[in-house]
Amino acid sequence: MPRAFVLVLDSVGIGGAPDAARYGDAGADTVGHIAEACARGAADRPGLRTGPLALPNLARLGLGEACRLATGRVPPGLADGGTPAGGFGCAAETSRGKDTPSGHWEIAGCPVTFDWGYFPKTMPSFPPDLVAALCREADLPGILGDCHASGTEIIAALGEEHVRTGRPICYTSADSVFQIAAHEEAFGLDRLYAVCRVARRLVDPLTVGRVIARPFTGATRDGFVRTGNRKDLAVPPPAATMLDAAEAAGRDVITVGKIGDIFAHRSTGREWPASGNAALLDRTLDGADALADGGLLFANFIDFDSLYGHRRDVAGYAAALEAFDRRLPELFARLRTGDLVVITADHGCDPTWPGTDHTREQVPVLTYGAGTAPLGRMPSYAAIAAMVTRHLAIGWRPAI
Ligand SMILES: O=P(O)(O)O[C@H]1O[C@H](CO)[C@@H](O)[C@H]1O
Ligand SMILES: [Mn+2]
Ligand SMILES: [Mn+2]
């Protein structure tokens, strides 16, 4: 029986979302702008990477052609010349949020048809009664932050005060999130998770997508670093997904990285978390060896987004793409006859764009293995779930 592998390169958008202007993102193009910066020598970091963007394996699968479908242009360095070795297309998101759960749930066949609750870009950002309830129920002496922020900038600005006062740093973004940063030793990791569980219950009535624990270590503002112990407390998807369908059909399911958290651990099978893209790819390769016939592996590669997109680090993002590309053949070498690999993304996070938030973009859909026909413009990410469940011969299709 054939197997399916869905790899989500978190935030690797390819520009051109038809509704981008509504988000202030008209013209954003994560892959296109990175490739252009590389081509003009603006993404050189000696010791890390230099020169034009080199993604030979993704280009061979048709990444450049997927970009052409999305924007009309092939970014520099992504023209392959030959016939793409895989099926390629681009997909637009129907869910209104440009966040990680919305993107992943839609990929899995469950678009978000309601509006998430967001916190305003004011100071304070959170409703005072929410903060009061959190302090009372989690026994906190108060909170710091209470605003929109970049997670790395706010721990540098407020980390020392946090350690001194015991007040956790609470912040949000353009996503539907309530994020809590606290020092792993001074505040305690278990205590941070406990505070997040209280916050999760309190923001449920506000339709907030995720409460995220953001632990960090270090002694001074220049030395604070976030650890791999991040934990996302998400609400479960509002309807069935391809994971539910695979589980109901008795198939083997392996979820790598953040997928377990993103789906609130519903039908997420064997969960294999890992920290960092290299370890995530290692786990994916282990999964290619371990996944039973007829099984589904679903992996998320978070570094593109959290380490480079939100940090607006063009050279770092380019290097991460190149590192992923270099290792793709290791996965292909482990495939069995009839296996299907789908490489896609959940939203954009253009590192050349103002601010530090996600960008509303189309995403690439590249397939390798079974079925190499061009996929064209897909009107919903849910077309991926349809393709995967058809391939696995599971009698469930998302409503598209
Ligand atoms: O700036 P950091 O803390 O990385 O936060 C980013 O990560 C969050 C979750 O993906 C987004 O909402 C965005 O705010
Ligand atoms: Mn994401
Ligand atoms: Mn993000």
Indicate yes or no: pTM above 0.90. Answer: yes
Q: What is the DSSP string of 193-223?
A: HHHHHHHHHHHGGGT--EEEEEEEE-SSTTT
* Nearest ligand to the CA atom of 148: 1
Q: What average pLDDT does the structure give for the chain?
A: 96
ipTM attached to this prediction: 0.97
Q: Output the pLDDT for position 65.
A: 94
List the residue whose alpha carbon is closest to atom 10 of ligand 1: 100
Asked if 335 and 369 count as a contact pair (C-beta separation under 8 A), the reply is: yes
Name residues contacting ligand 1 (CB within 6 A): 100, 150-151, 173, 175, 177, 179, 212, 306, 310, 356
Tell how far the Cα of 134 is from the centroid of ligand 1, in angstroms: 21
Tell how far the Cα of 300 is from the centroid of ligand 2, in angstroms: 9
What percentage of the chain exceeds 90 in pLDDT? Answer: 95
* Nearest ligand to the CA atom of 173: 1
List the residue whose alpha carbon is closest to atom 3 of ligand 1: 151
Q: Output the pLDDT for position 292.
A: 98
Asked if 70 and 375 count as a contact pair (C-beta separation under 8 A), the reply is: no
Query: Mean per-residue pLDDT for 147-173?
Result: 98
- The pLDDT confidence band at residue 278, using thresholds 50, 70 and 90, is very high
Q: Which of 151, 181, 394, 186 is nearest to 294 (CA)?
A: 394
Q: Output the pLDDT for position 371.
A: 65
Q: Output the pLDDT for position 86.
A: 84
Tokens 């670093």 — which residue? 225
Res 326 pLDDT > 80: yes
* Nearest ligand to the CA atom of 11: 2
CB neighbour class for 223 (10 Å; exposed up to 12, middle 13-18, buried from 19): exposed
Ligand 1: atom nearest CA of 174 is 12
For the stretch 345-397, pLDDT in tens is 999 999 999 999 999 999 999 999 976 678 999 999 999 999 999 999 999 99
Query: How far is C-alpha 114 from the chain's CA centre?
Result: 20
Res 332 pLDDT > 90: yes
